[in-house]
């Protein structure tokens, strides 16, 4: 498959990451996310999403499970924003995301296949 084709697993993983990052931002309610923090999340996602989109039935599973990932990503954004505000920052740093992951992990077990949090 060519990198520009829609069914390329790399594109699929990046599209899923982009949608999840959007949900994190929605949860953050106006705080911007530091680029290093975005890369931190991307590294977390690649290890989980990459293998998931290699499965032949991944789109069916994604259709069923994506609401759980988005809910968990929004919760992650809320927790990370709270942490940043407590530290007096107007942006979310990687340390805020790492702390938020610890708080969110395990609350939505259905998202486990897709969600690195």
| Residue 55: predicted pLDDT | 86
pLDDT in tens, the chain (117 residues): 445 555 677 888 889 999 999 999 999 998 999 999 999 999 888 778 888 888 888 888 888 888 888 988 999 999 999 999 999 999 999 999 999 988 887 655 544 555 555
| Residue 110: predicted pLDDT | 47
Which pairs from 12-16 meet CB under 8 Å and 24+ separation? 12/53, 12/58, 13/45, 13/46, 13/49, 13/50, 13/53, 16/45, 16/49, 16/53, 16/62, 16/69, 16/114
Cβ–Cβ under 8 Å, residues 11 and 3:
yes
Which structural domains are found in the chain, ordered by start? 21-113 (1.10.8.60)
Cβ–Cβ under 8 Å, residues 25 and 77:
yes
- Residue 29's Cβ-count burial label (10 Å; 0-12, 13-18, 19+) is exposed
Nearest to 78 by CA among 25, 23, 28: 28
d(CA 75, CA 70): 9
């Amino acid at each position: 498959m060519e990198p520009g084709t829609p069914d390329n697993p790399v594109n699929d993983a990046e599209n899923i990451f982009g949608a999840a990052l959007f949900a994190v931002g929605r949860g953050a309610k106006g705080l911007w996310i530091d680029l290093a923090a975005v890369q931190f999340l991307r590294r977390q996602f690649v290890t989980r999403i990459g293998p998931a989109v290699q499965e032949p039935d991944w789109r069916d599973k994604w259709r069923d499970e994506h609401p759980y990932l988005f809910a968990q990503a929004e919760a992650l954004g809320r927790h990370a924003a709270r942490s940043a505000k407590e530290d007096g920052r107007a942006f979310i740093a990687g340390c805020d995301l790492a702390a938020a992951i610890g708080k969110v992990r395990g609350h939505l077990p259905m998202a486990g296949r897709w969600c690195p949090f």
